[in-house]
């Protein structure tokens, strides 16, 4: 079974991005992401209503890193320290050598190739450094932008579950994409 250790925190760079630790200093950007109904449209989680909600989210991310049960990175441009999104392995399944990747960025950064750039680099990290065998992404079937990102990063559609999740009085479909280590 795999064992994860995120200490020291792994800072990762791509051509244009730096993926580093999310801290309390990022609270207003985390709040902007988690409180935006457009960004959260396909994520069955309650909207952040206050900066305290955002701080709680940051604390949850920190706890997962400290217990080696999940890891998230801030997505920042190399020439700008402001967080504009985050990406990470939300659910780690060490017994299956598998992890779930997830990401979100502010709307003004959409369509610039930042998410595929970060996803490609993190899948490399997942396979080479974490020794994962597969990485999955769980998305809403209507989240076409995310589907495009995953396809661009060579993920394959594995399953479409009909009305499998119950959230706020509705049954929701979910689609699972995955990528196997080559």
Domain ranges of the chain: 18-180
pLDDT in tens, the chain (182 residues): 899 999 999 999 999 999 999 999 999 999 999 999 999 999 999 999 999 999 999 999 999 999 999 999 999 999 999 999 999 999 999 999 999 999 999 999 999 999 999 999 999 999 999 999 999 999 999 999 999 999 999 999 999 999 999 999 999 999 999 999 98
Q: Which two tokens stand for residue 163?
A: 């009305």
Q: What is the pLDDT of residue 40?
A: 95
Helix (H, G, I), strand (E, B) or coil at 132: coil
The CATH architecture one would assign to domain 18-180 is 3-Layer(aba) Sandwich (3.40)
Q: Which helix (H) or strand (E) holds 61?
A: helix 51-66
Helix (H, G, I), strand (E, B) or coil at 169: coil
């Amino acid at each position: 079974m795999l064992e994860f250790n995120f200490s020291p925190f792994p800072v990762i760079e791509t051509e244009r991005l730096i993926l580093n630790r999310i801290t309390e200093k990022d609270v207003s950007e985390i709040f902007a992401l988690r409180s935006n109904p457009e960004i959260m449209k396909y994520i069955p989680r309650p909207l952040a209503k206050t900066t305290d909600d955002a701080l709680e989210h940051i604390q949850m991310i920190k706890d997962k890193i400290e217990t080696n049960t999940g890891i998230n990175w801030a997505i920042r441009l190399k020439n700008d320290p402001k967080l504009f999104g985050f990406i990470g392995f939300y659910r780690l399944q060490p017994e299956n050598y598998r992890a779930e990747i997830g990401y979100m960025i502010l709307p003004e950064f959409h369509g610039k190739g930042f998410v595929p750039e970060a996803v490609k680099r993190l899948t490399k990290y997942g396979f080479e450094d974490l020794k994962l065998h597969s990485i999955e992404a769980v998305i809403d079937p209507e989240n076409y932008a995310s589907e495009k990102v995953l396809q661009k990063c060579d993920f394959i559609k594995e399953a479409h579950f009909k009305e499998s999740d119950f959230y706020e009085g509705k049954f929701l479909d979910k689609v699972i994409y995955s990528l196997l280590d080559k």
